[in-house]
Chain A
C-alpha cells in the first residue's frame, strides 16, 4: 500500500465530517431511504455542530481531570514514600473501571442532579485506569542506567521526575490518555440518558422515534471523531518516541 494512502483517507474523513457538521442538508438525499413516513432525515432538535462541540468538551474535561489524578497517583506510589499505597490505589482505580458507567450515572444523578455532571463523573472514573496503569508502567520501566546517571549527576528527586522520568515515560502515558479518550468518546453518548448534551441525544432520539437516519448520523459522527483523535494522538506518541530513539520504527 502506498504511504500517502492512509493520510489521504484521514483527510477525506476530516473533510466529510466537517461538511456533514456544517451543512448536514447536503447529505439528506443519502440518508433519506433510511427513514419512514416522511420523518425528518437530519436531526432537528439542535445543531449537530453544537452537540459535537459539547460532546468533545465533556470528554476533554473528564480526561483532563482523570489524567491529573491518575498521573499524580502513579507518581505518588512510585516514590519510596508512597510505595505502600500502590495496592490501595490500584484497587481504587480498578473499581472505577469495573463499575459500569450506566450504574455510575444512576448513582450520581440523585447526588448531583441531571445534566453534564453525572456524565463527567462516570467518564472520569472510567478513564482513570488506563492512564494510571500506563503511567505506572512508564515510570517503573525506565532504563536503569539513565536513572542512575540522573542521580549521579546530582539531580534532586523532583528534578529527576520532571527532567528525566516524566519525559521518558511520555509516550507510554500518552498511550494511556489515548485509550481513555477513545473509551470516553464512546461512553459519553450514554450521558444523554441523564440529559447531558452530547451526540448520544441524536442516537437516543433515533431509537425513540425508530428513525434509523438519526441513529446512523449520531453513531457515525462519534465513530469518525474516535478514529481521528486516536490517529492524532498515536502520531504524537510516535513522534515523542522517535525523538528518544526508542524502538518505534
Chain B
C-alpha cells in the first residue's frame, strides 16, 4: 500500500504539486492522468525520491520512504520511463540485470531471473541476451525497459509514460503484456500517462491531476468519473467523456490563476486527451 499524505513540491515560487493526498491499494494499478505541466511526473518521482518533496509524507507499506537512503529505496522500486532509457553500452541481459547486480544477487540467480523475464517478454534469451539495445526494435527496447524495472521483483513499479514512444498496435500489445504480468506478480503499479484511453483501459483507479492538484481519484466505473451529471461538479467545471469514461476539467482557467488578457475567464481549457473523439459536457 502506498499512502501519499499532503505532498507538495515547490520550486522557488511555483508550486508543481500542491497538497496531494491519495492511497494506492496493494496489487492494483493506479493511473495518473493530466496534461503536461500538471505535476503528474513530479508526483511519481517523489515516490522513489528522485525528487524530494517540499512538504508531506509518502509511506510504502506503512514505512516512511525517507527511512532508507534514496538509492536503496530506488533499488526496491521498479522504474520504467518513456523512451526506455536503456544503457546503450550494455547488452540486453546486462541491462535487465542492473538492479539485481546492485543488490548483490549471486550469478545463477541473476541469470535465472534474466532468462525468466526475457522468456516472459517473448525475447529468446540466447538470441537477444547478448545484443545491444540499438540492435532491437522500438517495441523490443520498451519490453526490455519494463523487464529491467521488474528484475529485482519489486512490489511497486513506477512507470512514466512507458508506452509513449510506441506506435498504436505495439502499444496495445504492450498494455496487454503489462496487465498480464501485473496479474502474475501482483505488483502495485503507478502509471503516468496523458492518454485517457490508456488510463481507463489500464487503471483500477484513475487520478486526474491539473495544475499540481489532484482533481479526482476514483475507479473508472465510479459515478464520479463516468455518469455523474456534469452540472453537478464544482462550479465552473466541465468534463469530457469517451464511451468508457469521463474526466472533469475546469471550464475556465483554474481558479488560482486570475483571468488575464491571455486567458480570459470565458476561455475553455480542454485537456488534450479529450481529443477529437471525446464528447464534451458542460
Contacts and interface: CB of A to CB of B under 8 A. Distances in A.
Contacts of A153: 74-75, 79, 98-99, 102, 148
Contacts of B224: none
B211 interface: no
A243 B82 CA distance: 23
Nearest to A149: B85
Interface in B204-258: none
Interface string A131-157: 000000000000101101111111110
B87 A150 contact: yes
A145 to B, nearest CB: 4
A159 interface: yes
A168 B73 contact: no
Contacts of B88: 143, 146, 168, 244-246
Given A152-B79, A164-B87, A243 B50 contact: no
Contact of A154 (B86, B89, B102): B102
B72 to A, nearest CB: 7
B267 to A, nearest CB: 33
Contacts of A159: 102
B203 interface: no
A206 interface: no
Given A153-B75, A153-B102, A154-B72, A245 B133 contact: yes
A151 B87 contact: no
B71 interface: yes
Contacts of B48: 152
A146 B71 CA distance: 16
B16 interface: no
Interface string B76-100: 1001011111111100000000110
A55 B86 CA distance: 43
Contact of B86 (A146, A151, A152): A146
B81 A151 contact: no
B135 interface: yes
Contacts of B134: 244-245
A96 interface: no
Contacts of B86: 146, 149
A149 B134 CA distance: 16
Overall SS of chain A's interface: helix
Nearest to B48: A152
A150 B71 CA distance: 10
Contacts of A145: 81-85
B85 A148 contact: yes
B132 interface: yes
B101 to A, nearest CB: 9
A145 B81 CA distance: 8
A104 to B, nearest CB: 38
A24 interface: no
A167 interface: yes
A155 B101 CA distance: 10
Given A145-B81, A145-B82, A244-B89, A152 B133 contact: no
Interface in A228-249: 243-246
Interface in B115-158: 132-135, 145, 148, 158
Contact of A151 (B74, B76, B82, B145): B74
A154 B84 CA distance: 16
A220 B60 CA distance: 70
B233 to A, nearest CB: 36
Contacts of B98: 153
11 contacts: A150-B87, A152-B74, A152-B81, A154-B72, A154-B99, A164-B87, A168-B87, A168-B88, A244-B132, A245-B133, A245-B134
Given A146-B88, A149-B145, A150-B87, 4 more contacts: A149-B81, A149-B84, A153-B148, A154-B71
Interface of A: 143, 145-146, 148-156, 159, 163-164, 167-168, 243-246
Closest 6 CB pairs of A and B: A245-B134, A149-B85, A154-B75, A152-B79, A154-B74, A145-B85
